[in-house]
Amino acid sequence: MASRENVTNRRSFLKAAGGATATAALAGCLGGDGNTGGDGSGGGGTLTYARGDKSGSLDFQNTTSGEAAKVTNQMYDTLIAFKPGKTSLTEGLAKKWNVNGKTVTLDLRKDVKFHNGDNFTASDFVATFRRFVDEKYEHYPGKTYASSYGPYTFGVVDDVKAVSKHKLKITLSKKYAPILPNLAMFVSAVHSEKAIKEKGTKLKSEPVGTGPFKLKNWDKSNNRVRLEKNGDYWGDGPHVDEVVFTVVGQNTSRAQTLIAGDANIIDGLGAQSSQQVDNSDAAKLVSDAGINVGYMAFNMSKVEAFRNKKVRQAISHAIDTKGIVNTIFNGIAKQASQPIPSSVMGYNDSLSPYKHDPEKAKQLLKEAGYGDGFSFELATFKNPRTYNPSPIQAANTVKSNLKNVGIDVSIKQQAFDPFLSYTDSYKHDACFLGWMTDNADPDNFYYALLHPGVSIDKVPDGQDWVDPSKHDNINTLDVAAWANTEYMKLVEDAQATYDEATRKEKYRKAGKLAHDEAPWVFMDHAKDLRGVHKSVSGFKLAPIGGPFLRLVKLN
């Protein structure tokens, strides 16, 4: 997600890898993850979730931030859901579904109410969809409000119709392999049509969903979001009366807050803070392999030197990513060689990370005409992210490494929300970023992060980058502004086939191209880590979606 963390354009929904092997029809599984009917039975109480940064909005259509998604996922539901702790799909607001070529039909639940008391129907999703992407819709909130996730998620959707009160029909412009997991993404949740009409952009602070919790109070001055139990929730849980999201900026301070019992669950852990939790009798460290990537992107549209592949390769050799991963991210990440981690379909195991080789870096710079060096700004967020738990320390290491090969780096630090706005608008020279998958499909990395979102024929001949200012539909997640047409064709073709073997081979080739062309310095794939107090039971670490706080109980 995202987050990471920017986006734009007809991206497409890339979802849970292989998840749409769909030929003639894909049917949703029945039974979900256990509908026991929202009686909220359990220990009650207030669950406190401490994180490293705040939410900038409580409207999932107004943000690309994973921090916002943590909160909106508690208040909103999607048509299709991810099973807690899994990458597979299960029922959400839809009880069953099927895909037939370019048509998706979904049968919806009849027992769901929004927080405002209105019954959920198919027209709510139609209104939600139109609000996100239809500029002619009366209630479209404007391009500056609606995030780039809209065209990214629904770019292949030609039409959405309410066939009846509880049946939807989605028509696609082409066969699209990741369509089902796309509908499970946090940005595919459902607003109340009535709330869309009455509240407009006030939904960013006055959310109206169908989820297990509803907003009680948002104390922006103290970065605290307080949610209360939705007693009419249609699904399993919730089992606590309230959930409070708080912000504790420093990793070690957050760990201390958990150990002291002032938080029940924490995330954003680094090497030192994870050891604090692991060594504590009051809490436990929960970990799993993450489906993410951390990287440093070169903005080719702004810095001329970055348009030279040898310069990008030189910097990749000059930066000691192995040292960063093994020392700064000690024990919680591994080096990356390509955009996807090994758990994602299409991973190319023949590729190796760039070796730290300052002499080779100097030689490549000389061959590129930059033997005397040059300078650039590295933009970074301040607070820890899963894929980069120590961004400032890592940035200083990059600065030191590049100084050794004659490149002068200045570091620009920002809080996460303004940082995303900065990179979305391509003001950066280079930047740290990362991505926690929305659906575990390779397209959610390859297309979402490295396809510019423009058609191949719009890329100037002999050029492997585009000028974002000249394209209305630029994919701002492609912060490198990279536009390699061979790569673009590979990932576009992979989107349009339901054959998993064909997709896999195309992504292997795309991974090699990305590795060799080096639009990023590939840094790491990090573990997912959470600190969980001993007072908590029922918590499941989720590689996608979540956190599933409706399942948590306080002992």
Q: What is the DSSP string of 2-26?
A: --B----SS-----STTTT--SS--
Strand intervals (E) in 165-291: 167-172, 213-219, 224-229, 242-247, 265-266, 283-289
Composition of the chain by helix, strand, coil, percent to 5:
30, 25, 45
DSSP strand pairing (46-51 vs 242-247)? parallel
pLDDT at 6: 35
Q: Token pair 């702004």 is at which residue?
A: 302
Which residues in 181-208 are b (16+ Cβ under 10 Å) and which e? bbbbbbbbbbbbbebbeebebebbeebb
Nearest alpha-carbon partner for 454 in 442, 434, 443, 469: 469
Which residues partner with 4 through β-bridges? 65
User: Among 29, 30, 32, which Cα is nearest to 235's?
Assistant: 32
Q: Where are the alpha helices (DSSP H) in 279-357?
A: 309-318, 321-323
Alpha-carbon span 363 to 252, nearest angstrom = 41
Bridge partners, residue 89, by sequence: 82
Integer Cα distance of 84 and 545 in angstroms: 8
- CA-nearest of 375, 356, 384, 345 to 504 is 345
Report how far residue 429's alpha carbon sits from residue 296's, in angstroms, rounded to the nearest whole number. Answer: 11
Per DSSP, what are the bridge partners of residue 80? 91
For residue 279, the one-letter residue type is N
Per DSSP (E only), the strands in 388-475 are 408-414, 430-436
Coil, strand or helix: which one is 420? helix
Secondary structure of residue 256 in the 3-state scheme? helix
Angle at 59 between CA 57 and CA 65, to 5 degrees: 55
Distance CA 27, CA 96 (A): 6
For residue 9, what are the CA distances in angstroms to 149, 435, 447, 510?
A: 8, 17, 10, 20
The pTM of this model reads 0.78
Using only C-alpha atoms, the chain has a radius of gyration, in whole angstroms, of: 23
Residue 492 contacts residue 258 (beta carbons within 8 Å): no
Domain spans of the chain, in order of start: 292-528
Judge residue 213's burial from the number of C-beta atoms within 10 Å of its C-beta, 0-12 exposed, 13-18 middle, 19 or more buried. Answer: buried
What is the pLDDT at residue 421? Answer: 92
Please enumerate in sequence order all residues whose Cβ is within 8 A of that of 462, keeping only pairs 6 or more positions apart, or say none.
none
CA-CA distance, 181 to 343, in Å (whole number)?
Answer: 16
Say what the pLDDT of residue 27 is.
33
Asked if 506 contacts 340 with a C-beta cutoff of 8 angstroms, the reply is no
SS3 288: strand
Helix (H, G, I), strand (E, B) or coil at 130: helix
Phi, psi of 455 (to 5 degrees): -75, 155
CATH architecture assigned to 292-528: Roll (3.10)
Show pLDDT as tens, one digit a residue, over the chain (555 residues).
Answer: 544 433 333 233 232 223 333 333 333 332 333 333 344 444 699 999 999 889 999 999 999 888 999 999 999 999 999 999 888 899 999 999 999 999 999 999 999 999 999 999 999 999 999 999 999 999 999 999 999 888 878 989 999 999 999 999 999 999 999 999 899 999 999 999 999 999 999 999 999 999 999 999 999 999 999 999 999 999 999 999 999 999 998 889 999 999 999 999 999 888 889 999 999 999 999 998 889 999 999 999 999 999 999 999 999 999 999 999 999 988 789 999 999 999 899 999 999 999 999 999 999 999 999 999 999 999 999 988 889 988 999 999 999 999 999 999 999 999 988 999 999 999 999 999 999 888 889 999 999 999 999 999 999 999 999 999 999 889 999 999 999 999 999 999 999 998 999 999 999 999 999 999 999 999 999 998 999 999 999 999 988 889 999 999 998
What is the structure's pLDDT at 39?
44
Beta bridge partners of 246: 50
- CB-based contacts of 26: which residues, under 8 Å, 6+ apart? 20, 97, 98, 99, 180
Q: How far is CA 99 from CA 23, 175, 270, in A?
A: 8, 10, 42
Half-sphere exposure of 420 (CA within 13 A, CB side): 26
| pLDDT value of residue 30 | 27
Residue 29: the pLDDT is: 31
Task: Check residue 331 and give its pLDDT.
Answer: 74
Amino acid found at 501:
A
pLDDT at 22: 34
Q: Report which residue type is found at 282.
A: A
Residue with tokens 């939807």: 168
Please state, in angstroms and rounded to a whole number, the distance separating the CA atoms of residues 232 and 227. Answer: 14
Cβ atoms of residues 30 and 539 within 8 Å: no
Record the tokens describing residue 424, joined without a space: 């979305």
Q: Which residue has the tokens 């599984």?
A: 29
How far apart (Å, rounded) are the C-alpha atoms in residues 76 and 213? 8
Q: What integer pLDDT is reported at residue 11 of this predicted model? A: 31
